[in-house]
Amino acid sequence: MPVNGILHLSDASLIAVHALAGLASEPDRRVLGKDLASAMGASENHLAKVMQRLVRAEIVVSVKGPHGGFSLAREPGSISFRDAIEAVDGPLTGDFCPFSPEHCDPSACIFGHEVARQAESLVAYLERRTIADIVRDGVPRFISARRDPKGGEAGRRSDLAKKPRASVRVRRTSAG
């Protein structure tokens, strides 16, 4: 998979956002990790690691046992994309250099301040965009939609349920 050296969101952060959207689309029940993984086409092991981080960040609640599963710990409107990304990848900042830092002099950046402005704008957008926005924008209920009326798997995946392939993460460096 090609990776852009300027912006990169990890597969884990994309899984986190998709999993949170899945939980938000099922507000009245706990969702099993295997159901989330299946709906997204993600590895159960990878999803489990992501969900542990979301639980530690107090974004998701995990209940063990026969009636267990995952649910949101907060209202979807209070969970930003930035919250989800930072829970799995660490802090996002708008200060990065598209070149290797050893070649840059921040006071004489060939891009001027435009790259920094764009990065800050992206981070601000990720702060504003919430999990509730995904649900409000009409993302289908992709977990319950996978079951047919007789209780079996329907075998089709929604657009949201497709396995994340691309990544975006603002890289931090000390040079500009």
pLDDT digits (tens, 9 = 90+) for 63-98: 999 899 999 999 999 999 999 999 999 888 766 565
In DSSP terms, 153 is beta-bridged to 147
Mean pLDDT value of segment 155-176: 40
Nearest alpha-carbon partner for 163 in 37, 10, 64:
37
Q: Is the pLDDT of residue 16 over 80?
A: yes
pLDDT of residue 56: 98
d(CA 67, CA 73): 17
d(CA 123, CA 106): 20
> For 115, phi and psi rounded to 5 degrees?
-60, -45
pLDDT of residue 150: 43
pLDDT of residue 20: 96
The answer to whether 16 and 126 are in contact (CB under 8 A) is no
Contacts of 152 (CB under 8 A, 6+ apart): none
Q: Is the pLDDT of residue 19 over 80?
A: yes
pLDDT of residue 91: 87
Q: Is the pLDDT of residue 2 over 80?
A: no
In DSSP terms, 72 is beta-bridged to 60
To which residue do tokens 């798997």 refer? 153
pLDDT confidence of 175, banded at 50, 70, 90?
Answer: very low
Q: Residue 91 corresponds to which tokens in the numbers above?
A: 């802090």
pLDDT digits (tens, 9 = 90+) for 20-66: 999 999 898 999 999 999 988 899 999 999 999 999 999 999 999 98
Nearest alpha-carbon partner for 15 in 66, 70, 68, 77:
70
pLDDT of residue 169: 42
Q: Residue 92 corresponds to which tokens in the numbers above?
A: 């996002």
Q: Is the pLDDT of residue 100 over 70?
A: no
> Which CATH class for the 11-146 domain?
mainly alpha
